[in-house]
Structure 1
């Protein structure tokens, strides 16, 4: 029985969509009565199973195939969309890379702008401080201007007072000038009195000393020089008249001399010698240089023409002359 079952060939089938093929197709070998009975049952069962499977497969294909195809189509569509998005993303990535440099440059510019803004903020703060200071100064100037307005209102009265003060100042200056002149006159008189008390006589800004002891002409000059003076010079008729009147007819040396017989007359105090003026003061016939030794001049007579030349070694009274110099205050 086992041998008979082992010799029965297996049934195989394939399903190609809606076609069913069974193989082998050759007729089964002839067997005994039991085998003949079993084989149709087995084949029938297999055919039923295959039919059911095929039916189920057809049903499943009829139901799921359209859905599966739609799904595949959707997947393809989504894949294309994703590919487009990936391409867009790639494009955006390249643009991002290109823009990264611009962003960095923009960042540098932003930092520079921030630095400029900080500097401007600092400048603005300084300007605000300057404005506050200017406001304070404007307030001060405003107060000063108000004070100036008040002073301008007072100007007419001040001008009247100033006119009065100017008039008073003029009077005061006049009085001061008068006092200064009086002070100078008093000082002058005091100086003159001091010199007069010492034996000097005053005449037209000069002091004259008429000696009471006779000396030679040279000794007389030395004496005068010890008194800050010289033997007198004569520069005008009024001075000549003053001298001969005070001399009173006595002989007095004056400061007129010459160097030798052929020399020119000159004043010992370096006053320029006026030959024409002096010609009116000589006694008629003088100077005659009697004995070729009369090189010094003296006053001999009480008259305008009173000069005489004499020997410098004669001893005569003499007249010293010194200019008036105001003493220190």
Structure 2
């Protein structure tokens, strides 16, 4: 074997544009015919086997081709279906992702709704409590309404009694007014009697004091002031008549005076002096200011025209006047 191997010729090859040649460096040696025959048989057998394999392959292809094509078609169809399903699954995945966010938002909303429901339950409980209280109040009002209806039935009789009571009240008020007036009159009479007991005379709401001791005009005014009064003023014909009748023809100072020869006459108790009205009360020809020293007036005669001006230093009786003021009860 080593010798045979050592005798194998070297192989060379060359390449041109279209062919590849392989040859030994020297012409191969001549082979044995039996060896050639064996090679020929081997080649034929190989060709037959290849032919049979090829035929078998063609027959198998002819038999299996329709089935193979149907299988391929079914595979394509299934592939398309799978692709559609995959697309649907992808779409569903996207939808699931979107819905997952929505689910989370929905969960938050559900939590809020649950909180709102809890609040609503609390409000409902409060309302139920309020309804129970309202029902209790309604029952009380119903009872009260029944009592009101009972009272309404008594209203006509009560109204008649009220009319009678109103009439009685009116009479009572009249009696009270009469009693108050009588009380005032009695009180006034009591006050008047007290003043009369002290030497005062009462006439139309005023008290008058006719003195028993003569004084000058100024001294007489001081005496009246010490008795909470003033030398009398004369404001009406009836008052003038009362005074001269009570004077009885005696000389009495009154509260009419003036400041100097050129001054105007005025009442010492600040009663406004009515010059026109008072002109009827002067003695004719008076006042004449004899000797320029007659600045005070007095009642000289027992008549309507009885006033006379005289010197304030003369001493005459005098008349004090004070208004009636009801005493405290």
- TM-score, structure 1 normalization: 0.71
Q: For residue 160 of structure 1, report the CA deviation from its aligned partner.
A: 0.8
- Secondary structure at the aligned position of 2:250 is classed as coil
Please tell me whether residue 99 in structure 1 is matched to residue 96 in structure 2.
yes
Q: Residue in 1 aligned with 2:11? A: none
Report matched runs for 1:37-76 at 5 Å: none
- Secondary structure at the aligned position of 1:279 is classed as helix
**Which runs of 5 or more residues in structure 2 are unaligned?**
1-34, 39-66
Per-residue Cα deviation, 1:146-174 (whole angstroms, up to 9, x for no partner): 22222211110110110111111111111
Whole-angstrom distance in 1 between the partners of 2:143 and 2:110: 44
Whole-angstrom distance in 2 between the partners of 1:235 and 1:173: 37
Q: 1:143 to 1:95 in 2, by over 3 A?
A: same
Q: For residue 238 of structure 1, report the CA deviation from its aligned partner.
A: 1.4
Q: 1:129 to 1:169 in 2, by over 3 A?
A: same
Q: 1:80 to 1:301 in 2, by over 3 A?
A: same
Whole-angstrom distance in 2 between the partners of 1:263 and 1:199: 35
Q: 1:141 to 1:102 in 2, by over 3 A?
A: same
Q: Residue in 2 aligned with 1:19? A: none
Whole-angstrom distance in 2 between the partners of 1:145 and 1:122: 37
Q: Which 10-residue stretch deviates more, 317-326 or 97-106?
A: 97-106
Please tell me whether residue 152 in structure 1 is matched to residue 152 in structure 2.
yes
Q: For residue 143 of structure 1, report the CA deviation from its aligned partner.
A: 2.6
Whole-angstrom distance in 1 between the partners of 2:225 and 2:105: 103
Whole-angstrom distance in 2 between the partners of 1:326 and 1:25: 185
Q: For residue 189 of structure 1, report the CA deviation from its aligned partner.
A: 1.2
Q: For residue 98 of structure 1, report the CA deviation from its aligned partner.
A: 3.0
Please tell me whether residue 251 in structure 1 is matched to residue 254 in structure 2.
no
Q: Which 10-residue stretch deviates more, 127-136 or 295-304?
A: 127-136
Q: Residue in 1 aligned with 2:112? A: 115
Q: Residue in 1 aligned with 2:266? A: 266
- TM-score, structure 2 normalization: 0.71
Per-residue Cα deviation, 1:103-137 (whole angstroms, up to 9, x for no partner): 33234234324423542553441433343343333
Instruction: Give the RMSD, CA atoms, in angstroms.
Output: 3.4
Q: 1:87 to 1:25 in 2, by over 3 A?
A: farther
Q: 1:159 to 1:197 in 2, by over 3 A?
A: same
Q: Residue in 2 aligned with 1:320? A: 320
Whole-angstrom distance in 2 between the partners of 1:118 and 1:137: 32
Please tell me whether residue 218 in structure 1 is matched to residue 212 in structure 2.
no
- Secondary structure at the aligned position of 1:280 is classed as helix
Between the two proteins, the alignment pairs up a number of residues equal to 270
Whole-angstrom distance in 2 between the partners of 1:194 and 1:104: 111
Q: For residue 85 of structure 1, report the CA deviation from its aligned partner.
A: 5.8
- Secondary structure at the aligned position of 1:294 is classed as coil
